[in-house]
């Protein structure tokens, strides 16, 4: 339940338009709601009130039937719904029940937009080192976009050809926060961190040959960055990067000129 909906509900009780019993029924599932006969999930409906974004469905490990049932319960609230790391077959199952959903193929994300889009302010710059890092970067983009943030993408500008990045310096420096997605050795985050005066969120990816250790090498590089403004999320966690960037961008008081 959104804050506006809660206020409207309380106003209806105040004016007598809605009986107390009716309001109690609507509030019954506000904190959380068990899902399924075996209660395989407990949906945190209060999260939107606390954090500004409803609970997100992480699809791996769940059956298609479980995802569909959770998706339906979240959709009933009227909020946007996001399911991450979704296979195409999972999307097909969801779309059969909710045809208005969209599948972001690169991000492997299922999206249902139900909230009106306000004018986007500020800017998040989303930078990837290589083309192979784009799926993780796209997960970050989809997340931030669903939170009504303006995002500009700059892909395949890794340190092996530094001149490619430098060509986009002005664009990157307009942003209120920068997300840098990189695999291999993960050096791009430190380079970007030395070029901007805003927070940099580094996302190590599992892209790389054997001694990248499925993302451990870029993770350690980013954690050991000599650029003080760099923070790091978990390997391949584009969702967290997009969410954090949206929080930073939405709270900034200074809107840089576009």
How much of the chain exceeds pLDDT 90, in percent? 53
- DSSP structure string for 130-175: SGGGHHHHHHHHHHHHHTT--EEEE-S--GGGHHHHHTTHHHHHT-
Q: Is residue 228 part of a domain?
A: yes
CA distance 62 to 50: 26
pLDDT for residue 14 is more than 60: yes
Q: What is the CATH number of the domain that holds 144?
A: 3.40.50.1970
Do 105 and 156 lie in a common domain? no
What tens digit of pLDDT does each residue of 134-146 get? 999 999 999 999 9
Do 80 and 159 lie in a common domain? no
Number of domains forming the structure of the chain: 2
CA distance 179 to 188: 11
User: According to the model, what pLDDT value does residue 48 have?
Assistant: 65
Q: Is residue 2 part of a domain?
A: no
**For the residues 170-180, what does the mean pLDDT come to?**
93
9 CB neighbour count, 10 Å cutoff = 18
Do 169 and 75 lie in a common domain? no
Do 91 and 163 lie in a common domain? no
pLDDT for residue 43 is more than 80: no
pLDDT category at 24 given cuts 50, 70, 90 is low
User: According to the model, what pLDDT value does residue 37 have?
Assistant: 67
Do 143 and 75 lie in a common domain? no
Do 105 and 136 lie in a common domain? no
Name the domain boundary from 73, 91, 112.
Answer: 112
**For the residues 128-132, what does the mean pLDDT come to?**
93
Q: Is residue 148 part of a domain?
A: yes
Q: Is residue 16 part of a domain?
A: no
Domain span at 106: 55-112
116 CB neighbour count, 10 Å cutoff = 6
pLDDT for residue 28 is more than 50: yes
Helix (H), strand (E) at residue 102: strand 102-104
**Which residues, listed in sequence order, are joined to residue 128 by a DSSP beta bridge?**
181
Q: Is residue 118 part of a domain?
A: no
Do 83 and 151 lie in a common domain? no
Q: Is residue 3 part of a domain?
A: no
Name the domain boundary from 92, 112, 132.
Answer: 112
Q: Is residue 99 part of a domain?
A: yes
Q: What angle do helix axes 64-75 and 88-97 make, rounded to 10 degrees? A: 50
pLDDT for residue 40 is more than 50: yes
Do 101 and 184 lie in a common domain? no
What tens digit of pLDDT does each residue of 228-249 get? 899 999 999 999 999 999 989 9
Q: Is residue 101 part of a domain?
A: yes
CA distance 179 to 202: 6
Do 68 and 134 lie in a common domain? no
User: According to the model, what pLDDT value does residue 223 have?
Assistant: 95
Name the domain boundary from 112, 146, 177.
Answer: 112
What tens digit of pLDDT does each residue of 69-114 get? 889 888 877 788 899 999 999 999 999 989 999 999 999 999 998 8
Do 107 and 216 lie in a common domain? no
Do 234 and 200 lie in a common domain? yes
Do 156 and 234 lie in a common domain? yes
User: Parallel, antiparallel, or unpaired for β 177-182 and 200-204?
Assistant: parallel
The pTM for the full model equals 0.80
What tens digit of pLDDT does each residue of 144-154 get? 999 888 999 99
């Amino acid at each position: 339940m959104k804050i506006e909906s809660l206020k409207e509900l309380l106003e209806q009780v105040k004016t007598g338009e809605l009986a107390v019993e009716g309001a109690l029924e609507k509030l019954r599932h506000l904190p959380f709601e068990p899902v399924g006969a075996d209660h395989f999930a407990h949906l945190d409906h209060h999260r939107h009130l606390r954090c500004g974004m409803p609970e997100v469905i992480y699809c791996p490990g769940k059956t298609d039937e479980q995802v569909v049932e959770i998706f339906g319960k979240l959709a009933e609230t009227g909020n946007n719904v996001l399911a991450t790391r979704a296979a195409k077959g999972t999307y097909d199952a969801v779309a059969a029940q909710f045809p208005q959903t969209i599948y972001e193929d690169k991000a492997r994300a299922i999206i249902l937009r139900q909230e009106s889009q306000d004018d986007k302010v500020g800017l998040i710059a989303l930078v990837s080192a290589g083309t192979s890092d784009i799926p993780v970067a796209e997960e970050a983009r989809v997340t931030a976009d669903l939170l009504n943030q303006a995002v500009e993408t700059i892909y395949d500008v890794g340190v092996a050809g530094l001149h490619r990045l430098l060509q986009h310096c002005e664009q990157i420096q307009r942003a209120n926060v920068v997300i840098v997605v990189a695999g291999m050795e993960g050096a791009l985050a430190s380079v970007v961190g030395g070029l901007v005066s805003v927070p940099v969120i580094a996302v190590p990816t599992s892209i790389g040959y054997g001694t990248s250790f499925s993302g451990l090498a870029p993770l350690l590089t980013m954690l050991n960055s000599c650029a003080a403004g760099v923070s790091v999320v978990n390997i391949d966690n584009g969702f967290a990067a997009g969410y954090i960037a949206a929080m930073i961008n939405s709270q900034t008081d200074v809107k840089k000129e576009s």
